[in-house]
Structure 1
Amino acid sequence: QFSYLCPENWSPILVLANVRSGNNMAQDLMGEFQTLLNPIQVVDLDSTTPYKALQLCTLLPSHKTRVLVCGGDGTVGWVLDAIDDMKYKGQEQSIPYVAVLPLGTGNDLSNTLGWGAGYTGDITTEEILQSVLDGEVTKLDRDCLVQACKDLDQKIELELDGERIALPKLEGIIVLNIAYWGGGCRLWEGTGDKPYPPASHSDGLLEVVGVYGSFHCAQIHVKLANPVRLGQAYTVRLILKNSVMPMQVDGEPWVQGPCSVVITHKTQALMISPSKRQPEEDVQSASAQGTVES
């Protein structure tokens, strides 16, 4: 390690880019970041796994590294899974803080954290790096999903913290731990015309809502209707009794057979949200402050 050689207030930046995101925009951004940072700090996730890339953090001062993930929600989830692996392998002191440059299609996690619904090239790479350095650390709940398949009949059962919930006639059940869903819809909030328990991405609680169909979803998107708020819970259990049923997690779909799905709190990730303050510092300081010397 060479952390003892680093200045006390130094915060290095590691850029992890998914070149398959954003119509190859990540490929162009990688080249720009490499002109500002040491090339070792800019990693192509198409050729290097997040876990391997994050091992650079173990050589740097504890809890000082800031990681910028360039990609969609799926890419961010991939990086956060690698950070969980670091925790399990005793590298807790090397866990970085994570910021997002949204290059995916939905970008709901990025939107929740304040980084916006999609990067359009309206700010420079220097400004992006400065925003990462100035950003405020926030906690993000991470949940795990467990499936135990067995033969069941043709109904769905929902339990919230062990309590059975009576379901109206629905076409979909959605479990949330962030504010945005479906490409920018604040689903739990709905129209905002009725009081409802507040939602947070760092309180350990999951929000569970139902929808009557695709038209109902469209109404919620334009704030003409509210979702069916089924409740909040630390543990959600769904018993799927149909022979096959469509499901998705973080935008990744599949067809699921009869099973019991349990979603419960797993850990928390240390994320970065844009600073509420706008410092007057020269954005060029991002290059000097965020570069590892060869």
Structure 2
Amino acid sequence: MRRVTSAYHQSAPWDVCRSMLLHPACVRLDSRNFSKMHCYRITESCSHDLDNSDDVDSSAAVSKDGQTAAPESGKQLLKVFDGDDAVKRSYFRLVSICRATRNEEVVEAALRTFYLPDEPQDFELHEIGGLQRLHSDDILNRNGGPDNRGSLKDGGDAWLLRAKPRDAEVIKVYAGWPRPGEAFVRVSVSKSSTAASVLTEVLSQLDRQEEDVSGFSLLEVCMSSKQVQRQTLTPQEKILDKLQEIRKLSLRQMNQTRFYVVENRNRAVQVNLLIGGLPPLLTKEEYAQLIQEHLTIKSHLVTISHFYPSQGAVALQISCFSEAERIYMLAKDTSVNSKSLTSLVIPEIVHNKLGEDVCPLLVFVNPKSGGLKGRELLYSFRKLLNPHQVFDISNGGPLAGLHTFREVPRFRVLVCGGDGTVGWVLGVLEAVRHKLVCREPPIGIVPLGTGNDLARILRWGPGYSGEDPHHILVSVDEADEVLMDRWTILLDAQDMSEDGKDNGFLEPPKIVQMNNYFGLGIDAELSLDFHLAREDEPDKFTSRFHNKGVYLKVGLQKISYTRSLHKELQLQVDTQNIPLPNIEGLIFLNIPSWGSGADLWGSEVDGRFGKPSIDDGLLEVVGVTGVVHMGQVQSGLRSGIRIAQGNYIRLTVSKPIPVQVDGEPWIQPPGHIIISAAGPKVRMLRKSKQKQKKSSAGAKDGRSESPSSRDGGH
């Protein structure tokens, strides 16, 4: 890990990360037969090593005559390698220096290029392919070689950065278990220091000197951007030799290496797999029969530890590595009722090791939202936090994360995605909350893509604009908790006669959850046309500008459209029949933001209705007269037509009609629609006003939030 420079606050920001971090000692994962791609649930392919993203291939940046190109007159570029591994792979970084530069200045420039926070006097440069060493009083000539030794004939502009040998130094050793205060102790090592002697000193500093040293090990951990490599040092291994060996291989690798003291444990093998894609709403016995039928499990090695009927998923506990690997691979190639199964390796969180002040953050990222921004956030949060607390929601859905955190007594959730992704997480949380110790974790949002009405009213903004992921974590830590209503919509399709009487069932009743709003008529029809266009060419719908253009085009096509919706609907609010005006669209609002930030209800004071809020247990019923009216609302020129407020809605629909719930549209057959409160209110995280002002300063989108959203609907 890189050292924190003086430009940053030395404690507070990283204390925030520490309180959110799932400490490695609290995670148990038997992974002998599984790669890091399996253990961290990584599905995306990496085209190149991210550690070398700034490196240049040996054939790059060289002109036709074989000389390294200079960026400007009076400057020259040196090819610098940080160790034997870089030389072997021909990966170097270009160091720009002035001509006639002294060695110390060259070394300092090279350290900056490799982001190494060490002192220049501890390093020296060696010529690649030659015997020359650059001394402190040497000056590089125009050919990249020492001026007092003549010009170099072969590769004089290629140099190897080496650390000078040391007779003693101080290393940091981290405790492999949570502890208050600093996470590490400092130990002086010399040429005679071994892993055993370092362990003795470390245990003494950690107040565990009474315990047997043989019960502990010194672990070398290299944390690169792609993987974490662990190696247990033997008791007789010389520490100083080990450090010099790592530095010779790669100086950057040394900068990414930590040493941990860990307890030795001998325990039974236990691999946890989460199998999804099974038929929903079965009993545990029926799931066991399906698993046995399709995966031919060995019952003496495999047990069903948990099952989630609403999600069609079971958790398997397996006591054999080879059996776990076989089931994992077989499940990925198996289908049940024409639906492919999913298989994920799930870590075990040792919840009793979590500190009292720790509230780990469970992160869900939708990499398909917001173009490539979702994938970038996924990479960033895997680096900032423990990868086992960061979940790609497109790989197994929200259940994988919630199941992993099922025994954590206190945690928060961060959802990176659009309103649909947030609704997905809220829906699964509602379905499985009875199996969680923390049944109501507060949920924050990083908005991706377009729309993001819920994120707007909770002050997270209209969309992610490249904010530093660490700043996002600070904002989550400082956010306020608020309650929000959720609603259940029962859609009971029936064959309706001309007089509105039922003639029989068309299809089974459908139940959906609603967080933001529910629309019928022209609003839903525009959403449906947009949805169909996006399904035809999904690659084109990656920018807000393009999406708004498609909405505009669809709206213009419907500008002369008339439906007389009031003739097709009968509305009942809290058992009272409500007459409908001449409208083309009817919308039920739970939050004061609609259609990407518009204030449909309006801010005018009206004695007939109360001021809306997201936790008042009421829905606002609003009408629109057509596309022109919707455009005026979007522009802030008008509000919708206020019709009613209530907590129990009943609609009778006489003809098929477009509907949409939180942006998901479809054609609903005639029948009855009932909207009622859904269980307990959910706890959401609302960004603090101070943080919101800082992040929105200079924002280009003037409609980043609706007028009433500034108070989160209160």
TM-score, normalised via structure 1 length: 0.88
Matched, 1:115 2:470: no
For the pair shown, the structure with the greater C-alpha radius of gyration is 2
C-alpha deviation, 1:33, in angstroms:
0.8
C-alpha deviation, 1:194, in angstroms:
4.4
- Rounded to whole Å, the distance in 1 between the matches of 2:367 and 2:648 is 35
Matched, 1:156 2:569: yes
Which of 354, 357, 366 pairs up with 1:6? 354
Distance 1:277 1:25, change over 3 A: closer
Deviations 1:23-64 (CA, angstroms, capped at 9, x unpaired)? 12111111011110011111101112202211222232x2x2
Give the secondary-structure state (helix, strand or coil) at the position aligned to 1:150: strand
Matched, 1:80 2:426: yes
Answer yes or no: is the 8 Å Cα contact 2:415–2:445 preserved in 1. Answer: yes
- Rounded to whole Å, the distance in 1 between the matches of 2:465 and 2:484 is 25
Q: Which residue in 1 is equivalent to 2:663?
A: 251
Q: Which residue in 2 is equivalent to 1:130?
A: 474
Which consecutive residues of structure 1, in runs of 5 or more, have no partner in the other structure? 279-294
- Rounded to whole Å, the distance in 2 between the matches of 1:36 and 1:212 is 49
Counterpart code for 2:414: L
Q: Which residue in 2 is equivalent to 1:52?
A: 400
- Rounded to whole Å, the distance in 2 between the matches of 1:14 and 1:93 is 12
Which of 169, 172, 180 pairs up with 2:585? 172
Give the secondary-structure state (helix, strand or coil) at the position aligned to 1:99: strand
Q: Which residue in 2 is equivalent to 1:265?
A: 677
- Rounded to whole Å, the distance in 2 between the matches of 1:106 and 1:226 is 19
Answer yes or no: is the 8 Å Cα contact 2:407–2:437 preserved in 1. Answer: no
Distance 1:92 1:217, change over 3 A: farther
Comparing both chains, which one has the higher relative contact order based on Cα–Cα distances under 8 Å and sequence gaps of 6 or more?
1
Q: Which residue in 2 is equivalent to 1:70?
A: 416
Counterpart code for 2:444: A
Counterpart code for 2:401: A
Which of 9, 17, 23 pairs up with 2:365? 17
Deviations 1:157-206 (CA, angstroms, capped at 9, x unpaired)? 011111110111100000110110111111112xx344352111111111
Answer yes or no: is the 8 Å Cα contact 2:622–2:640 preserved in 1. Answer: yes
Answer yes or no: is the 8 Å Cα contact 1:136–1:275 preserved in 2. Answer: yes
Mapping for residues 175-190 of structure 1, pairs under 5 Å: 175-189=588-602
Counterpart code for 1:38: N
Q: Which residue in 2 is equivalent to 1:26?
A: 374
C-alpha deviation, 1:95, in angstroms:
3.3
State the number of aligned residues. Answer: 271
Distance 1:38 1:90, change over 3 A: closer
Q: Which residue in 1 is equivalent to 2:231?
A: none
Answer yes or no: is the 8 Å Cα contact 2:493–2:668 preserved in 1. Answer: no
Mapping for residues 268-279 of structure 1, pairs under 5 Å: 268-276=681-689
Give the secondary-structure state (helix, strand or coil) at the position aligned to 1:78: helix
Q: Which residue in 1 is equivalent to 2:91?
A: none
Which of 480, 483, 493 pairs up with 1:139? 483
Answer yes or no: is the 8 Å Cα contact 1:21–1:103 preserved in 2. Answer: yes
Distance 1:158 1:94, change over 3 A: closer
Counterpart code for 1:132: V
Cα RMSD, aligned residues only: 1.5
Identity %: 38
C-alpha deviation, 1:15, in angstroms:
1.0
C-alpha deviation, 1:86, in angstroms:
1.8
Mapping for residues 174-253 of structure 1, pairs under 5 Å: 174-189=587-602, 192-195=603-606, 197-242=610-655, 244-253=656-665
C-alpha deviation, 1:21, in angstroms:
0.5
Q: Which residue in 2 is equivalent to 1:97?
A: 442
- Rounded to whole Å, the distance in 2 between the matches of 1:193 and 1:252 is 30
Answer yes or no: is the 8 Å Cα contact 1:65–1:96 preserved in 2. Answer: yes
- Rounded to whole Å, the distance in 2 between the matches of 1:131 and 1:86 is 27
Counterpart code for 1:131: S
Answer yes or no: is the 8 Å Cα contact 1:57–1:95 preserved in 2. Answer: no
TM-score, normalised via structure 2 length: 0.37
